[in-house]
DNA sequence: TTGTATGCGTTATCAC
DNA sequence: GTGATAACGCATACAA
């Protein structure tokens, strides 16, 4: 009843350890008959190769780390995981997910885990890095793939979306609908920020400046960080920020759908109608936005996961990527929460 | 620049490999001074233990498998993952998630992966098992923890929720609100069913029978399986099933919130008002249900993950659980989609 | 195509 | 409390 080892299989098949190893992995030259015999023997003994032993002997762990910012049960993160799984799993790789929510945890993660050959590559999602961290990653001795990172610095490869494009699309939409006073809504930005979504506010401002159409805008920030509470708990505060803003914005752009939805709900409680009184644009095209017919900027985190995983695969095989750093386009999804600006003073 | 091994550290610290191993793991007797010296040496060399080597030598892989039914980016599954992570990660365990969506994949999974000592335990979520699979699991040589499984058979431990209680609560609620004709809505149930949610229809029927209050009911099933399409694509079909049912139900109980939300939206397009014309109860209390104020049955998959992980931990340590198989209660969450039955013929 | 021999980096069992 | 040393189960030159 003890689990069998490779030599048990070898013995039963009447061949050497080495041949069993070759046959089972389908590499090198093994005659069809031998292969068959080995496979049958392995089957009889209920045998599969030990990952630990293989890893030790070969130097490849067949594991890739996935580090995300924020908990694993968030839509974006779990979708990235699913995407990475889609391409890595068929190739025999295990994915080891983990997450951090602040700079301290991030530092600790990089200080502890990856000094060693405990994985063949790491995919790092949605972080803003310091140059110090870049150096540390570069010294890690394994490919580091960035996903949705503001910079490509320190990454061997990366896949990102263009927050700038997305925000530009939002701004242009609202502008063309006649809105002249816009607001960007976001949650609290920690000093030790690690989230790349925080760059969206800057993109929003840049888009308006670049448009140069005389639009006024303001950036409204909640006091509480959304990761410490549920998004809907921020809604009252955000709503009051919007309604009490001296600018009286008619066009709202929100950092994420997750934030936009409860905000919109709260504003409706305050008798604001969308899009008659106000227009609102989210970001992400998360499933929730379809439910409430929210106009938003589409991105596909599963695809990001695919892309990052493919880059990881190539890098692990020692190939050189023709395009190390790529950017996925974002698209504007028009639904029911945007319309012509109201005729107000 | 080559990564250091334990002997490099030993040399630098002026001790033996064995002592380094003991010191770094904080086990057995090592004098404080020695420990300090070793730790400094390890730090200087940027050294951490190799998981592969440790696993091979010790026989413990420090890995636990998490097998879920359905993709990893679904709310329930990613929450379970997060929960398991919360308790396993601090203990030094890696979690290796994977998923299957049908019986064939499930069989393949069990045929391939776990014959071997590639993990110390496995958590299996939301499956309906055949006795054959039970036997296979029992023979796997590692603790098997069930999560949300209809039966405790074949599991060394398990944590579940009471679907029966939840459905009973739904039925009683609708009954006490005066509803006399109920319908249970679900998506297509594959022949080779692996999802435990499919048992909910049975619970619904049993609850009505047990109530014995003369309620009439019907069970409405979509033709397409929700895993092959987006939930909202099923909405039109489900809505027409509801509205064309000869029973003319006024109280709807839906298998999951994920299904209830688009159904309700579609029914509203058909001029049904909730709860004036109809009442609807979901199941899960997924975040989406809060957004649309759906009355539903609450469960907490993160807690399930915690519980399963704790059981796994104990089992891996060779402890005997005082309560191997536990059931978490479900609670009814009243929101805005349920009300008194309409006064119709 | 197949077999032999060595090493991968730890842990654990002994001694001391 | 610490140091040798033999496993652990496999991959891979190198031979044959």
What's the pLDDT tens digit per position in A22-33? Answer: 999 988 788 999
Q: Does the pLDDT value for residue B1 go beyond 50?
A: no
**What's the CATH code of the domain at B189?**
3.40.50.2300
Same domain for A315 and A289:
no
Give the Cα separation of B319 and B317 in Å (integer). Answer: 5
Q: What is the mean pLDDT of residues B175-204?
A: 86
Asked if B89's CB is within 8 angstroms of A94's CB, the reply is no
- Distance in Å from C12's C1' to B59's CA comes to 11
Strand partners for A144: A122
Would you state the structure tokens that stand for residue A243, as one six-digit string?
């309604």
pLDDT, residue B193, reads: 63
| Partner A contacted by B289 (CB < 8 A) | no
Residue A196 has pLDDT above 80, yes or no: no
Let me know whether A218 and A250 are in one domain. Answer: yes
As given in the structure block, the two tokens for residue B99 are 């998923």
pLDDT for B138 beyond 80: no
d(CA A293, CA A282): 11
Same structural domain, B221 and B133: no
Average pLDDT of the segment spanning B45-70: 92
> What is the per-residue pLDDT for B4?
85
The reply to whether residue B98 touches residue A112, judged by beta carbons under 8 angstroms, is no
Token output for A163: 């927050």
CATH of the domain at B14: 1.10.260.40
Q: Is the CB of B56 under 7 A from strand C?
A: yes
- Interchain proximity A291–B287, CB inside 8 Å: no
Task: Give CA–CA dist A134/A129, Å, rounded.
Answer: 7
- H-helix or E-strand containing B220? strand B216-221
What's residue A142's pLDDT? 87
A121 and A247 share one domain:
no
Least confident among A111-120, A164-173, A208-217: A111-120
Statement: residue A46 has pLDDT above 90: no
In chain A, pLDDT over 70 holds for what percent of residues? 96
Nucleotides of D under 7 A from a protein CB: 1-5, 7-13
Helix (H, G, I), strand (E, B) or coil at B176: helix
Between chain A and chain B, how many beta carbons pairs sit less than 8 Å apart?
A: 125
Q: Which residue is nearest to nucleotide C5 (CA to C1')?
A: A18
Domain match, A113 and A226 both: no
pLDDT, residue B265, reads 95
Q: At residue A105, does pLDDT exceed 90?
A: no
Residue A294 sits in the same domain as residue A180: yes
Rounded average pLDDT over B131-154: 82
Ranges of beta strands (E only) in chain A are 63-69, 94-100, 121-125, 144-147, 157-161, 181-186, 216-221, 251-254, 279-281, 296-298, 325-328, 331-333
Asked if A48's CB is within 8 angstroms of B115's CB, the reply is yes
CA-nearest of B61, B68, B67 to B118 is B61
Pick the range with the lowest mean pLDDT from A152-161, A177-186, B194-203.
Answer: B194-203
Interface test with A, best of B52, B259, B262, B309 (most A CBs within 10 A): B52
Please tell me whether residues A90 and A167 are part of one structural domain. Answer: no
Which residues fall within 8 angstroms of residue A259, CB to CB, at 6 or more apart? Answer: A185, A186, A187, A226, A231, A234, A238, A282
Query: Phi and psi of A216, rounded to 5°?
Result: -100, 150
pLDDT given at position A141: 78
Give chain A's domain count: 3
Residues from chain B that touch A268, judged by Cβ atoms under 8 A, are: none
- Are both A170 and A291 inside the same structural domain? yes
B345 domain residue, yes or no: no
Task: Give the start-end residues of each E strand in B72-180.
Answer: 94-100, 121-125, 144-147, 157-161
> B29-57 pLDDT, tens per residue?
889 999 999 999 998 888 889 999 999 99
CA of B72: which chain A residue's CA is closest? A82
pLDDT at B229: 82
Same domain, A109 and A204: no
* B269 contacts chain A (CB < 8 A): no
Nearest in space to B137 (alpha carbons), one of B83, B84, B65: B65
The verdict on residue B77 lying in a domain is: yes
> Quick check: is A85 in a domain?
yes
| Least confident window among A217-231, A263-277, B160-174, B249-263 | A217-231
Closest residue, chain A, to B94 (C-alpha)? A96
Q: Is the CB of B11 under 7 A from strand C?
A: no
Same domain, B29 and B153: no
Does residue B293 share a domain with residue B209?
yes
Residue B98, CA distances (Å) to A72, A147, A170, B156 in order: 14, 21, 37, 20
How does DSSP assign A150-202, residue by residue? S--TT-SEEEEE-HHHHHHHHHHHHHHTT--EEEEEE----TT--BGGGHHHH
With respect to residue A235, please indicate whether it lies within any of the assigned structural domains.
yes
Our measurement of the distance from residue A278's CA atom to the centroid of its chain's CA atoms, rounded to an integer in Å, reads: 31
- B11-15, B114-118, B339-343: least confidently modelled range: B114-118
pLDDT at A1: 46
B85 vs A81: CA distance, rounded Å = 14
Chain A residue numbers with beta carbons less than 8 Å from the beta carbon of B97 are 81, 85, 95, 97
Nearest to A94 among B96, B115, B290 (CB): B96
The span from the CA of B277 to the CA of B319, in Å, is 55
pLDDT of residue B114: 54
Residue A193: per-residue pLDDT: 63
Domain-located, residue A123: yes
CA dihedral B106, B109, B115, B117 (to 10 degrees): -120
Strands A63-69 and A121-125: parallel
Provide, in whole angstroms, the distance separating residue A192's CA from nucleotide C7's C1'.
Answer: 45
Q: For the whole prediction, is pTM greater than 0.85?
A: yes
Residue A333 lies in a domain: no
Residue of B nearest to A82 (CA): B72
Higher pLDDT, B176 or B142: B176
Q: Which pLDDT belongs to residue A117?
A: 66
Q: Could you give the percent of chain B with pLDDT greater than 90?
A: 72
Q: How far is A216 from chain B (nearest CA, A)?
A: 31
pLDDT-derived band at B113 (thresholds 50, 70, 90) equals low
State the pLDDT at residue B102. Answer: 83
CB A48 to CB B113 under 8 A?
A: yes
- What is the extent of the structural domain holding A279? 163-299
Confidence of residue B273 (pLDDT cuts 50, 70, 90): very high
pLDDT at A78: 98
Residue A345 has pLDDT above 60, yes or no: no
Q: Which residue's C-alpha is at the least distance from the C1' of C11?
A: B57
The structure tokens listed for A161 are 């979306």
Statement: residue A151 has pLDDT above 90: no
Domain assignment present for residue A335? The answer is no
Q: Which residue has the tokens 């031998």?
A: A34
Q: What is the mean pLDDT of residues A146-171?
A: 93
Do B103 and B153 lie in one domain? The reply is: yes
Task: Say if B167 falls within a structural domain.
Answer: yes
Higher pLDDT, B128 or A309: A309
């Amino acid at each position: 009843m003890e689990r069998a080892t490779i030599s048990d299989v070898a013995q039963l098949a009447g061949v050497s350890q080495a041949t069993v190893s070759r046959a089972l992995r389908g590499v090198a030259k093994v005659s069809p008959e031998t292969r068959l015999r080995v496979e049958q023997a392995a089957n009889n003994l209920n045998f599969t190769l030990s990952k630990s032993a293989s890893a030790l002997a070969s130097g490849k762990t067949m594991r890739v780390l996935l580090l995300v910012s924020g908990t694993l049960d968030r839509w974006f993160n779990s979708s990235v995981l699913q995407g990475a799984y889609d391409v890595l799993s068929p190739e025999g790789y295990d994915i080891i997910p983990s997450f951090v929510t602040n700079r301290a945890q991030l530092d600790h993660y990089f200080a502890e885990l990856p000094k060693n050959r405990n994985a063949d590559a790491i995919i790092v999602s949605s972080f803003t890095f310091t140059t110090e961290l870049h150096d540390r990653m570069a010294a890690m001795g394994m490919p580091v793939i960035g996903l949705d990172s503001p910079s490509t610095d320190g990454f061997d490869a990366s896949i990102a979306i263009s927050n700038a494009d997305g925000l530009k699309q939002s701004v242009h939409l609202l502008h063309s609908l006649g809105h002249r006073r816009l607001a960007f809504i976001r949650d609290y930005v920690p000093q030790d920020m690690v989230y790349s979504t925080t760059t969206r506010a800057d993109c929003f401002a840049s888009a308006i400046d670049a448009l140069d159409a005389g639009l006024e805008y303001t950036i409204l920030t909640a006091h509480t960080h959304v990761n410490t509470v549920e998004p809907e708990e921020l809604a009252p505060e955000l709503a009051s920020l919007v309604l009490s803003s001296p600018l009286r914005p008619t066009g709202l752009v929100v950092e994420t759908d997750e934030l936009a939805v409860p905000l919109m709900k709260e504003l409706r409680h305050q008798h604001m109608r969308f899009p008659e009184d106000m227009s609102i644009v989210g970001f992400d095209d998360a499933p929730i936005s379809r439910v409430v017919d929210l106009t938003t900027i589409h991105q596909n985190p599963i695809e990001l996961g695919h892309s990052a995983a493919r880059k990881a695969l190539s890098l692990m095989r020692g190939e050189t990527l023709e395009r190390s750093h790529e950017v996925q386009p974002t698209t504007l999804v028009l639904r029911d929460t945007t319309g012509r600006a109201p005729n107000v003073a």
